[in-house]
Chain A
Amino acid sequence: MLTVSKLNQYYGGSHTLRDVSFDIPKGACTALLGRNGVGKTTLLKCLMGLVPARSGALMFENTDITRLTPYARARLGLAYVPQGREIFPRLTVEENLRMGLATKPCSAAIPAQIFDMFPVLKDMLARRGGDLSGGQQQQLAIARALVAEPDVLLLDEPSLGLAPRIVDVVFDALAAIRETGLAVLLVEQRAQRTVALADRCHVLSNGELRVTLDRSDAADTEKLVAAYFS
């Protein structure tokens, strides 16, 4: 679905992404693990076009999107759930969800299945986004991205700072989203859960993809630790 080839990015003088290449296939969850500061968020921002790629290519199906604006990528079918969620604080939950429809014609409505996945949002439609708890905001951010019915969903640490119960809700939702045939790219820090969920898992270290893990490695703590600190 989305192919990243030989992506390079610099932050000031430092080389933050080095020849990163991988695939995000349809109907699967691809995960990206790594310690803080190895370039995970930068990579996602590059994919969404929020920071320009210095070199390399991004292919969405057969379209080269390397030079497209974030807005154009959203229209093609990429959706991004940023770290920190970026909910509009003074818009209601419903208005936040309607913002997810920005790529669709004016007559488009919020699909009802969203509330099956995140029932808590249904009771909060009239509340202001800024008044929600962190967990509710995270669910709203994922729901807002899904409302656009994207082909590729990019998520930046959706479980960050959430209570364990809400982490379960988020991971269950991610599993359900994969079943709908989307291509999911999940950036996470919770290695064990992520490896258990994802179909394929890359570990980013100093801007390079070093190790690729699959689901059977989830129980192998030593292998995970080794991959993390490679």
Chain B
Amino acid sequence: MLGVLNVDWQTLADALALGAVYALMAVGIGLVFGVLRLVNFAYGQLVMAGAYALAFASQWNWPGWAGILLCFAIVLTLSLVMDRLVFRPLRTQSPAVMLVATFAVAFLLQSIALLWFGPLGKIASSLAPLNRPVTISGVDIRKIAIVAVIVAALCLLALQLLLTRTTVGLQMRAAAMDFRTARMLGVRANRVIGGAVLISGALAAVVAIMLTVQTPLVTPDFALRDTIVVLAGVVLGGLNRPVPATLGGFAIGFASGLLGGALPTTQSQYLPSILFAAVILVLLVRPNGLFTRDRESLERV
């Protein structure tokens, strides 16, 4: 397999790392979808805002940890503002209205970034040392690839514990299944939605950190393409289940990294076309998603 695709171990490691980061984005999108039935197209702009925070922190020569703190502060604040100003008033509207609203928010934030920070972009370099390789049994692997996989695994583990071991996690899962019944039992809707939005925002901040290490040039359309690819991955995996959605995000990130490394440089512009053709093909065969079981898809009929 590896031989056919002409992939080396380094590409494989990078593909795993991209898959891990995309899996986190998929979880962030999936969590909010679970409680709000809202596909947050503006998720990429949260990542973009976090990336700008890192870029400014490195421009001001802040230490790495301070930049990371600023990144979290900005992204979490923006998530809450987005929820309060847009999601909450539109909560009772149809999914189509909410989707269009998130498009509007996405382009609004992108335009604001363009106006304030200009089209040329800024460099987030304080975490750049993570791009240096380490040699593991003769193979050079970038540190960030290892860090990304470990951080993603830890985030998913922490989230799993939160969802299964805490009261608010239980309420989030219940609300994702049946919000009306959850409210009837006395669950505070704002608390559950606020929790999901915050966790989703925290994941966006983590993603911003990982992506700026790999792509230090932060422009207004930072993470836009990634969001579209992840959304495709989430739909591919199965939007209404958290685990399949995460696997879908990972799969499309991994495939994208692998193909990107395997395609000759002259043909790399075909990567998105190949990726999305594959998505359409998979959905034609398994419209309920690649990673959902058949029994579960029957429930929806």
Query: Footprint of B on A, CB under 8 Å?
Result: 48, 50, 69-71, 74-75, 80, 82, 86, 88-91, 95, 98-103, 106, 144, 148
Cβ contact of B177, chosen from A48, A88, A98, cutoff 8 A: A88
Q: Quick check: B173 and A102 within 8 Å, CB to CB?
A: no
Q: Is B91 an interface residue (CB 8 A)?
A: no
User: Given A71-B189, A89-B177, A80–B170 Cβ distance below 8 Å?
Assistant: no
- When C-beta atoms are compared, the residue in chain A nearest to B192 turns out to be A102
Q: Quick check: B185 and A102 within 8 Å, CB to CB?
A: yes
A residues near B188, Cβ cutoff 8 Å: 71
Task: Known A-B contacts: A82-B184, A86-B184. Give 10 more (CB < 8 A).
Answer: A71-B187, A74-B184, A95-B170, A95-B173, A95-B174, A102-B171, A102-B187, A103-B185, A144-B185, A148-B185
Q: Quick check: B186 and A88 within 8 Å, CB to CB?
A: no
Which 9 A-B residue pairs are closest in the complex by CB-CB distance? Answer: A74-B186, A103-B186, A102-B186, A86-B181, A102-B187, A106-B167, A102-B185, A70-B184, A88-B177
Cβ contact of A102, chosen from B177, B180, B182, B299, cutoff 8 A: B182
List CB contacts (< 8 Å) of B144-195 with chain A: 167, 170-171, 173-174, 177-178, 180-189
Q: Quick check: B177 and A90 within 8 Å, CB to CB?
A: yes
**Could you give 5 example pairs across A and B, Cβ below 8 Å?**
A71-B186, A82-B181, A86-B180, A88-B174, A90-B173
B residues near A69, Cβ cutoff 8 Å: 183
- When C-beta atoms are compared, the residue in chain A nearest to B168 turns out to be A106
Distance in Å: Cβ of A137 to nearest Cβ of chain B: 13
Q: Is the interface of B mostly helix, strand, loop or mixed?
A: helix
Cβ contact of A99, chosen from B174, B180, B299, cutoff 8 A: B174
Q: Quick check: B186 and A148 within 8 Å, CB to CB?
A: yes
A residues near B173, Cβ cutoff 8 Å: 88, 90-91, 95
Distance in Å: Cβ of B186 to nearest Cβ of chain A: 3
User: Given A100-B185, A102-B187, A50–B180 Cβ distance below 8 Å?
Assistant: yes
Number of interface residues of B (CB under 8 A): 18
Q: Quick check: B183 and A99 within 8 Å, CB to CB?
A: no
| Alpha-carbon distance A144/B177, docked complex (angstroms) | 16
- When C-beta atoms are compared, the residue in chain B nearest to A108 turns out to be B167
| Alpha-carbon distance A75/B185, docked complex (angstroms) | 8
Q: Quick check: B174 and A91 within 8 Å, CB to CB?
A: yes
| Alpha-carbon distance A70/B184, docked complex (angstroms) | 5
Distance in Å: Cβ of A158 to nearest Cβ of chain B: 16
Task: Mark contacts of B279-301 with chain A using CB atoms, 8 A cut-off: 1 yes-contact digit, 0 otherwise.
Answer: 00000000000000000000100
Distance in Å: Cβ of A44 to nearest Cβ of chain B: 11
B residues near A88, Cβ cutoff 8 Å: 173-174, 177-178, 181
Distance in Å: Cβ of A73 to nearest Cβ of chain B: 9
| Alpha-carbon distance A69/B92, docked complex (angstroms) | 14
A residues near B185, Cβ cutoff 8 Å: 74, 99-100, 102-103, 144, 148
Q: Quick check: A48 and B184 within 8 Å, CB to CB?
A: yes
Distance in Å: Cβ of B189 to nearest Cβ of chain A: 7
| Alpha-carbon distance A89/B182, docked complex (angstroms) | 13
Distance in Å: Cβ of B86 to nearest Cβ of chain A: 21
B residues near A74, Cβ cutoff 8 Å: 183-186
User: Given A98-B170, A99-B182, A102-B171, A91–B177 Cβ distance below 8 Å?
Assistant: yes
| Alpha-carbon distance A71/B186, docked complex (angstroms) | 4
Distance in Å: Cβ of B166 to nearest Cβ of chain A: 8
Distance in Å: Cβ of A168 to nearest Cβ of chain B: 27
Distance in Å: Cβ of A70 to nearest Cβ of chain B: 5
A residues near B177, Cβ cutoff 8 Å: 88-91
Cβ contact of A50, chosen from B167, B184, B186, cutoff 8 A: B184
Q: Quick check: B170 and A91 within 8 Å, CB to CB?
A: yes
Q: Which of B177, B186, B187: most chain A CB closer than 10 A?
A: B186
| Alpha-carbon distance A48/B145, docked complex (angstroms) | 53
A residues near B299, Cβ cutoff 8 Å: 89
Distance in Å: Cβ of B79 to nearest Cβ of chain A: 23
